[in-house]
Structure 1
Amino acid sequence: MSQQDALALVRRYYDSFNRQDWPGMLDCLADDVAHDANQGGRSTGKDAFSRFLAHMERCYREELRGVVVMASEDGARAAAEFVVHGTYLATDAGLPEAKGQTYVLPAGAFLEVSGGRISRVTTCYNLQDWLRQVGA
């Protein structure tokens, strides 16, 4: 995949996120996608990623702003930086009680691309900052 194609794929992935177009996001992913959640474990496969999206939709409403995407010359690696504007809707296990708190959180992701699809997503943000913002 070319650098330009990788950039377009990652932009489509994040554009789908902002539209809450979960099928559109899943279409960008390899069947065996590896997903590394921030300070969490790795899950593998579209089914696991789909469950993650359903969980996130229940607990959070988020929009990514200022998305900047970069890719290696060969299109095999990409990165995105953005600011998450969110609302904490429902209490997530092991986290503080949700009361509709809002947050603004710088974040980023590292991605691998193979076979025309995203094969790994590793998301990074400052959990302590998020906890402070939701009143933990």
Structure 2
Amino acid sequence: MGLKKDLFSGVAVTAIAKYSGIVIGLVINAMLARLLSPREYGIVGVVVVFITFFNILSDIGLGSAIVQSQTLSQKDHSDLFKLSAIMSSILAIAFALFSYAVAYFYKNDVYIPIGQLLAIHVFFSSLSVVPKNIL
């Protein structure tokens, strides 16, 4: 009986966490659509696509490997974090440079400073993969 209750509780918490994130995202997008001009909202949409892509690249399975492996030592965690730091730096530089390609493709230089600023986000987001999954 206790296992069934724990299972139901876990499923409920996971569902609430997942769907509340979706609802919050919808509310934020609705507010942005009202506050920004169509041109500005289009810029945000383009940038969000590339940020999402780089965030997917930042994990490369490290998070799942850390969670599933129960035999990692402190040295292994340290080595994984070093690898993550190197990968974070490479991804951030790539994102900053990629902003030039996006600006050229869309013929709008506004993407360059936005991409360079968001490269900081890519760096820290990627850098946090190992510590979050260790917890």
- Normalised by the length of structure 1, the TM-score is 0.24
Structure with greater proportional helix content: 2
**Structure with bigger gyration radius:** 2
Structure (1 or 2) with the greater strand fraction: 1
TM-score, structure 2 length as denominator? 0.24
